[in-house]
Structure 1
């Protein structure tokens, strides 16, 4: 199709959709979807994230009564305008899988009546059996609250007509934040920092507390990667981001006692230990951006009898000190792969990986081809690509992976997978037996990538025998020399690393907030809910004034804006 055809199809469908929306006609609005269509809404029709599949569920959601009107009529989306000036202008698309779903996609802008806000949408249209263009997916996304738009300007030169410096201006801003933070953010990694930056741009005072002595140390202390951004470079970027965004951060600071929430004042009482000083804050909002959970350290009989070095993978810093030693790594996921590579590179005498369950392995080259290079071209603004990527419902993405997407990725790694199997390394792409091959995406969104290995070289070492594999579902006990298994076999070692993952976020939350508050929360943070949205992540947690901000850079980059909008709306009294 020509660009004129793509524009005409999109404009015609969008005009009819706007008519249904502006008149509050739910039935007509829903008729613009395919019988297996999907609708994803972020904050336009409710102060939450919703994904609905099929006309019945979409109709049910938009028909719910709010203040005497249907959601569709109450929200009052109107002024739909096709986006012709970005990379998300009307274009052809084709989704992965044997069905070969293809059609027309594009972005549009609109206004929201209640609350007064600006929004942006994205559609994917295909033809039904009668040749009519209808939505396979429709995404509606709140962009800004009218009158409180996110500032994109940096101030330079003289301030307010007075001869003050940038340093003086930032210092005054920090003093105001420290005197009365509206939001207290626990954790100064990428999630905490992006939330602080978003809130600052929205005019909300946010203070970050970080346990490390330097911004970026959560990255500096990791194992290095030979392909992607080096840990030190990434850590330095995070540190420079905090400076450039003028973020108020207290380093070497922790929550000193269990925070208390007062429902009458709608404020927290949080005691923060900063060095040898304790400070009491009374923020309205508490954001937990503490990462993916504490180290999960299983217990086996005899662990304290082992005479060598024994530690969790989170505390691995450098393999050089173990040159010439025999190393056993328990676990066969991402951390294990990186650490095994590190030991081999630094001359360990022998490296053995103990695999307790099958692993979803995708090579970096296959991931580059299927996950990074196509959706994130260097020629396109990252904001536009984030928008398009997040317009696809996660549950639909997993369906597409099951129906052929994962098979395509596997074919790119066919030789690697054959070599791993021959070496005794077990593979899987299913979260549960018979549940369908959801692949890397399924493990990421359901298990925070637990059980996966994005292979950047360990796979080759396993195939070549430089990293040996021991199937170890049945570890019996440890002794002073190593690990014994229930089948009678033994691995002798000088060093044992437990690459056994991390505890669920809620376990750390309970330790921080105590039982009373934790019992009021849903059981999970992260993982997909029944609609396919991430549980309690950048959205209502189940407790007033409490938010969770976790996830990789792409998640933090996109959803930190949504968290900022929800907090702003509550501060304005319109949520």
Structure 2
């Protein structure tokens, strides 16, 4: 289809959509969707993240009454303008899956009446049975609150009109934050990206954020990890995170932790938090508490006889260096990402024998296939990362899972056929379903539902398994430990000098309970992460169910994108416009 045709189709549809929006006619607005179309809304029609599928659900959502008006009329989206720049000009698309869905896609901007805000949207149009162009997906996303836009200004040298240096200015800002922080951003994993990015976003929106970090240096969680043979080395990433905190002028209390259970006062709408800051305790009263505590504490199962094992026994979170295990027999319990990375490390450092104990099937994708199907996107070189994040998040997650089930996963499996055949021959058990018969959602589905638990993004361990350099012990329950190894319930035994428990991490809510206690935790939904009934991530960068409490969790990509939404929600509460 010619570019002028793509532009004409997009223009006609968008003008008609604006006419419906500007007149408050939500029946007409909903009529612009396919019968099974999707609306994904981030903060434009409600102060939450919503994904609605089907005309009835979209209609009910937009017709809900807010301050005496239907939600659709109350929000008042106006001034729709098609984006025509190179990266966002209307273009054809074809979605993965057996249905071969294709059509026209494009981005547009708009304004929101209440609250006064700027928005940005993205549409994917296909033709219905009558040949009319309708929305398969429509994404509406709040960008900024008018008059409180995110600052992008950087200042260097002497500040105009003031005879102070950058160092003096930052020191004064830190003193103000420490005296009365609006946000206490609690992170436990080496100044993790989620906590730091959230603090940076809040700072750019003029909100005072204090970061509490248990380690002695920002980035320590990456410095202390195994070195991977692909992608960014751990040390370089750790140094980047450290420099990020400096560049973004983040106020971070290192070697600090929350000393007692925080208490929330509904009357003052503030927390009372006791912080162990170095060798002294400090009481602070922030309005908001952001938990960026990573993916939970180590899950360490217990088996009889563990205390009798005479070799080295530890959880994968505490693996640092395999050099000390040169010439030794190693058993790794678990068959996911942590296990595969650690197996490679032991093989590279000359362990005599490395055995992976696989207790349940694993979803495996090679890094090469991940790059072809997930990481590589059809944008010109030099496209800003913000644009890539926007386009990626315009897709409703539940719809994305449907596409994976309908053929997207089958395509990625085809690319990895040689790897999968070799793993099966070596005795490795594979799956792409979250539960039997639920459909093959693939690695991305495991990421969204289980924080990637049960997956292996293969960067070399698969080859070691196929070659027999990493042996597989599959499908056997552990009976007990002995002084020189592990005995299984079928009577078989693995002798070992080193045993690593690559058994994953506890649910985030267990970490939350240990921090906040039962009274607050019992009021919250049962989990953080995983998709809710609409396909949005539970409690992640969105209202948690308790005032002044937020969860910031996820990858670099998720933290980049959703930290802005976290900032907008907190800013709106500070402005009393929620």
TM-score normalised per structure 2: 0.99
Which whole-Å CA distance do the structure 2 matches of 1:99 and 1:509 have between them?
Answer: 42
Which whole-Å CA distance do the structure 2 matches of 1:314 and 1:73 have between them?
Answer: 51
Q: How many residues align?
A: 575
2:545 corresponds to: 542
C-alpha contact 2:87 2:380 (8 A) present in aligned 1: no
1:353-411 CA distance string (max 9 Å, x none): 00000000000111111111226764321111100100000000000000000000001
Aligned residue runs from structure 1 range 14-413, under 5 A:
14-187=14-187, 188-374=191-377, 378-413=381-416
Alpha-carbon spacing, 1:376–1:461, altered in 2? closer, same or farther (3 Å): farther
Moved over 4 A (4+): 375-378
C-alpha contact 2:476 2:490 (8 A) present in aligned 1: no
C-alpha contact 2:540 2:552 (8 A) present in aligned 1: yes
Superposed displacement of residue 163, structure 1: 1.2
Which whole-Å CA distance do the structure 1 matches of 2:236 and 2:558 have between them?
Answer: 20
Residue 258 of structure 1 aligns to a residue in which SS?
coil
Greater CA deviation, 468-477 or 352-361?
468-477
C-alpha contact 1:375 1:385 (8 A) present in aligned 2: no
1:196-244 CA distance string (max 9 Å, x none): 1000000000000101111111111111111110000001111111111
Residue 473 of structure 2 aligns to a residue in which SS?
strand
Which whole-Å CA distance do the structure 2 matches of 1:385 and 1:446 have between them?
Answer: 22
C-alpha contact 1:78 1:112 (8 A) present in aligned 2: yes
Residue 271 of structure 1 aligns to a residue in which SS?
strand
C-alpha contact 2:87 2:379 (8 A) present in aligned 1: no
Residue 35 of structure 1 aligns to a residue in which SS?
strand
- The one of 413, 424, 428 aligned to 2:427: 424
Which whole-Å CA distance do the structure 2 matches of 1:468 and 1:509 have between them?
Answer: 37
Which whole-Å CA distance do the structure 1 matches of 2:498 and 2:330 have between them?
Answer: 5
Note the residue ranges of structure 1 that are not aligned, 5 or more in a row. none
Alpha-carbon spacing, 1:375–1:293, altered in 2? closer, same or farther (3 Å): farther
Which whole-Å CA distance do the structure 1 matches of 2:62 and 2:426 have between them?
Answer: 54
Which whole-Å CA distance do the structure 2 matches of 1:477 and 1:42 have between them?
Answer: 50
Greater CA deviation, 559-568 or 269-278?
269-278
1:414 corresponds to: 417
Aligned residue runs from structure 1 range 479-558, under 5 A:
479-558=482-561
Greater CA deviation, 223-232 or 354-363?
223-232
Residue 388 of structure 1 aligns to a residue in which SS?
helix
1:168-220 CA distance string (max 9 Å, x none): 00100001001100000001210000001000000000000101111111111
Superposed displacement of residue 89, structure 1: 1.9
C-alpha contact 1:376 1:382 (8 A) present in aligned 2: no
1:462 corresponds to: 465
Residue 444 of structure 1 aligns to a residue in which SS?
helix
Residue 470 of structure 1 aligns to a residue in which SS?
strand
Residue 487 of structure 2 aligns to a residue in which SS?
strand
C-alpha contact 2:81 2:110 (8 A) present in aligned 1: yes
| RMSD over aligned Cα atoms | 0.9
Which whole-Å CA distance do the structure 2 matches of 1:523 and 1:284 have between them?
Answer: 24
1:492-543 CA distance string (max 9 Å, x none): 0000000000000000000000000000100000000000000000000000
C-alpha contact 1:540 1:547 (8 A) present in aligned 2: yes
Which whole-Å CA distance do the structure 2 matches of 1:248 and 1:383 have between them?
Answer: 25
TM-score normalised per structure 1: 0.99
